[in-house]
């Protein structure tokens, strides 16, 4: 049953990075869109965010619950040594959701809408940046349980060049996903052409920031390059991500946007596989060579068994309704009903 729990943990992280990433990316795309095109961009992004907005943070909650119940030592370590970026991430998520709600559903239309827009856009960049920093700190080997100073224990474990570069890379990925996911909701060919140009720009941004991640990893002693080139699975993941990127560019030129969405999600999965496979089952890498393994640090066997069954049974109820939610939001209404 431990494998079932680990699969659900990994899938929840993947789905949050894809769906939550596209959600965060909506604010990033809006920020980068020229002023004269913002109205069209908002319309397409809202259509895209519809099904995602209702359920995206569910995957983050599932991951947290699985860690809390199934792997208490790992949960305690992360929540202790990374409590500052975790709090900043949660504040960004709360500010973003609040600003989005008030901006779109406030009964009074006044200058506060501009304030809500600024908060929404800023937190759309702020939150994924710290999400990337947390991910980087988890595998960087900079968490030092033996450190004696506050700064060494709770700041420098995540505030370093590698963490910052991964944070920027995550922001770029979110903007990339949102651009791909939202282009299918653009009906005007001129708007589609402009969005394709934006996607090409975000591709360049993702490639450059991805290279920066490898450079900072090398400079800070994180064996990222070794992880990627030492395992056939990791190498295959990188190759598949690269090939799918080339296919995606071709599909965009052919305006096959549904295939582009699938390829964008697939690339995110391949990136996660390449970055995590080599050190699996070690989820947290500590300074000095220590690590916290999913196989060694799990809870009692009875707890894992009950958690696994809860996840399996719960998914039978949740997933069908989630798919129907996405389907219902994706239905295009060609005609507006009229009363004769």
Q: What is the pLDDT of residues 232-268, one digit of tens each?
A: 999 999 999 999 999 988 888 888 887 888 888 899 9
6 within 8 A of 21, measured Cβ to Cβ? no
What's the total number of domains in the chain?
1
Q: Do residues 191 and 265 make contact, with C-beta atoms less than 8 angstroms apart?
A: no
| Domain-embedded: residue 339 | no
Q: Check residue 38 and give its pLDDT.
A: 73
- The residue segments making up the domain with residue 130 are 2-330
> SS3 for 208?
helix
Asked, for residue 90, whether it belongs to a domain, the answer is yes
pLDDT at position 242 is 92
Contacts of 115 (CB under 8 A, 6+ apart): none
The pTM (predicted TM-score) of the whole model is 0.88
- Residue 36's pLDDT is what? 77
Report, as an integer, the average pLDDT of 92-119. 83
Residue 337 lies in a domain: no
Q: What is the C-alpha to C-alpha distance for residues 35 and 87, in angstroms, rounded to an integer?
A: 32
pLDDT tens column, 15-69: 898 888 888 888 888 888 777 777 777 777 776 676 666 667 788 889 999 999 9
- The predicted structure's pLDDT at residue 53: 63
In a domain, 222, yes or no: yes
Question: What confidence tens digit (pLDDT) does each residue in 120-129 have?
Answer: 999 999 999 9
pLDDT of 81 > 60? The answer is yes
245, part of any domain: yes
pLDDT of residue 85: 96
Residue predicted with more confidence, 255 or 107 = 255
**Intra-chain end-to-end CA distance of the chain, in Å:** 59
What percent of the chain is predicted at pLDDT more than 90? Answer: 47
Express each pLDDT in 293-319 by its tens digit: 999 999 899 999 999 999 999 888 888
pLDDT at 333: 46
Give the C-alpha separation, 67 to 75, whole Å: 5
- Residue 335 forms part of a structural domain: no
**Omega prior to 281 cis, within 30 of 0:** yes
Mean pLDDT, the chain, rounded, equals 86
pLDDT at 308: 93
Q: Which two tokens stand for residue 26?
A: 């909506």
Q: What confidence score (pLDDT) does residue 323 get?
A: 76
If pLDDT is split at 50, 70 and 90, which confidence band does 335 have?
very low
- Convert the pLDDT of each residue in 186-223 to its tens digit: 777 877 888 888 888 889 999 999 999 999 999 998 99
Examine residue 340 and state whether it is found in any structural domain, yes or no: no
- Residue 150 and residue 144: Cα distance in Å, rounded? 11
More confident of the two residues 9 and 19: 9
218-232: average pLDDT: 89
């Amino acid at each position: 049953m431990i494998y079932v729990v680990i699969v659900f943990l990994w899938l929840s992280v993947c789905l949050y990075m894809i769906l939550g990433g596209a959600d965060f990316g909506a604010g990033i795309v809006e920020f980068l869109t020229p002023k004269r095109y913002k109205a069209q961009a908002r319309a397409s992004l809202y259509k895209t965010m519809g099904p995602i907005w209702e359920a995206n943070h569910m995957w983050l909650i599932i991951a947290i619950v699985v860690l809390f119940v199934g792997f208490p030592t790992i949960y305690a370590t992360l929540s202790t040594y990374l409590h500052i970026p975790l709090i900043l991430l949660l504040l960004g998520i709360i500010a973003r959701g609040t600003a989005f709600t008030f901006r779109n559903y406030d009964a009074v239309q006044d200058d506060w809408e501009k304030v809500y827009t600024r908060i929404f856009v800023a937190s759309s960049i702020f939150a994924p940046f710290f999400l990337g920093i947390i991910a980087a700190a988890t595998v960087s080997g900079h968490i030092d349980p033996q450190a004696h100073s506050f700064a060494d224990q709770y700041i420098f474990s995540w505030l370093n060049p590698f963490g910052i570069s991964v944070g920027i890379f995550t922001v770029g990925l979110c903007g990339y996903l949102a651009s791909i996911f939202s282009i299918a909701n653009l009906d005007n060919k001129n708007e589609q052409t402009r969005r394709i140009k934006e996607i090409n720009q975000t591709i360049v941004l993702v490639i450059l920031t991805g290279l920066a991640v490898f450079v900072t990893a090398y400079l800070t002693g994180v064996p990222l390059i070794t992880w990627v080139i030492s395992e056939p699975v990791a190498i295959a993941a990188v190759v598949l991500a690269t090939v799918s990127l080339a296919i995606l560019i071709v599909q965009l030129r052919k305006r096959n946007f549904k295939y582009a969405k699938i390829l964008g999600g697939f690339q995110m999965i391949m990136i996660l596989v390449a970055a995590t496979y080599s050190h699996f089952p070690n989820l947290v890498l500590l300074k000095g060579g220590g690590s916290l393994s999913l196989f060694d640090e799990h809870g009692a066997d009875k707890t894992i068994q009950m958690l696994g069954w809860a996840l399996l049974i719960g998914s039978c109820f949740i997933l069908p309704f989630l798919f129907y939610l996405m389907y219902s939001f994706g239905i295009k209404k060609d005609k507006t009903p009229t009363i004769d």
